Amino acid sequence: MVSGRSDANTGRVRLGMVGGGQGAFIGAVHRLAARMDDQYELVAGALSADAARARASGAELGFAPDRVYTDFRDMARVEAKRADGIEAVSIVTPNYMHVPAAMAFIEAGIHVICDKPLALNLKEAKALEKLLAKRKDVIFALTHNYSGYPMIRQAKAMIAAGELGEIRVLQGEYPQDWLTTALEKTGQKQAAWRTDPKRSGAGGCVGDIGTHTYQLLCNVSGLTCDELSADLTSFVKGRVLDDNAHVMLRFKGGAKGMIWASQVAPGNENGLKIRIYGTKGGLEWKQEDPNYLWFTPFGEPKRLITRGGAGSNAAAGRMTRVPPGHPEGYLEGFANIYSEVARAIKAKRAGRKPDKDVTFPGIADGVAGMAFIEACVTSSEKNGRWTRV
């Protein structure tokens, strides 16, 4: 259905949203990201299952009353029949709703941009992968937003070009402190669903932020994890899901890695960091200082590569909006993924393949992330036994 539409190649993509109504955090982030490069027009949504909240949320966003829905299945069915119906949908619900909503829109021929992690479990993720294999006309993107940062693209290109040599060691950490106490018991919405296995899945911290770390290490290095050994802990009394994770990784080809993810580390806000070392040198990047990438060729002094500055490569340049020294970060990383997806959608409109440089996380990243979560849970339950991913 989508590929037959004939909007101008440069026209905005008509976008809908599932979830993200009043009181939601991530929905606003996605809306800002979609608007940043003026590639989308948000026109419809199933923002809440509660009719009153859905109407109020839709009115705040300027939706026409007949474009406000309380059921995503109705939204997919109705929008697919409209001449001006949505071309793509953002799914920004808790994890347990990702796959059912994605399936409804994929079956209706509508492109999907889904928040991470992909699913409630690996079985769901593989079912979605199977559906997408049948519906090759539909684009599916997963918002691992950190993969959209310019200096992450820089690092990936440098490794692919052999500047680090053969990769030996990969380290990632992602400490936060917001769940140091039982915040979920206070009624805080984000804490409540993220610590509930019925809505979040089998992984707590390891699913929420551990998957970001894992995806970055694999994406930037180009390596595939073979097996892992995990120790997942719930430090807060009464909490069912893990709030701290230590994971050792073995990659195909012999590289070794480690991940520490924690939501009970006081003094840390959003401390995502990766370090990758090879036979010729090493790289280091911190999310809280994302415009800088440290590169150390073996035997030489550390070099600072800045976004848009000397030494910045073309891969980073594609993701860069403003001159060096003007910070770019979290929202821009999301926006880069949205803009890449828009380029792919517009290529489909024109009946051609997108440029080879247009890349974004997709179903393979989502399935790999769910396999990582389930392997971590299995390994931890078996006292850290090495487990295939």
* Cβ contacts of 120 within 8 Å, gap of 6 or more: 95, 96, 98, 99, 200, 201
Pairing of strands 111-114, 140-142: parallel
Helix (H) or strand (E) run with residue 170 in it:
strand 167-175
How large is the greatest C-alpha to C-alpha distance in the chain, in angstroms?
Answer: 65
Residue range(s) occupied by CATH 3.30.360.10 in the chain? 150-322+367-388
Local confidence pLDDT in tens for the 389 residues of the chain: 333 333 445 599 999 999 999 988 899 999 999 999 999 999 999 999 899 999 999 999 999 999 999 999 999 999 999 999 999 999 999 999 999 999 999 999 999 999 999 999 999 999 999 999 999 999 999 999 999 999 999 999 999 999 999 999 999 999 999 999 999 999 999 999 999 999 999 999 999 999 999 999 999 999 999 999 999 999 999 999 999 999 999 999 999 999 999 999 999 999 999 999 999 999 999 999 999 999 999 999 999 999 999 999 999 999 999 999 999 999 999 999 999 999 999 999 999 999 999 999 999 999 999 999 999 999 999 999 999 99
Please give the CATH number for the structural domain made up of 2-146+336-358: 3.40.50.720
**Cβ atoms < 10 Å from Cβ of 97:** 18
Is residue 114 within 8 Å of residue 102, measured between CB atoms?
yes
Residue range(s) occupied by CATH 3.40.50.720 in the chain? 2-146+336-358
Top CATH class of 150-322+367-388 equals: alpha beta
Q: What's the token pair of residue 354?
A: 């997108």
What's the order of all strands across the beta sheet hosting 140-142?
40-46, 13-18, 88-91, 111-114, 140-142
Distance spanning both ends of the chain, measured CA to CA:
36
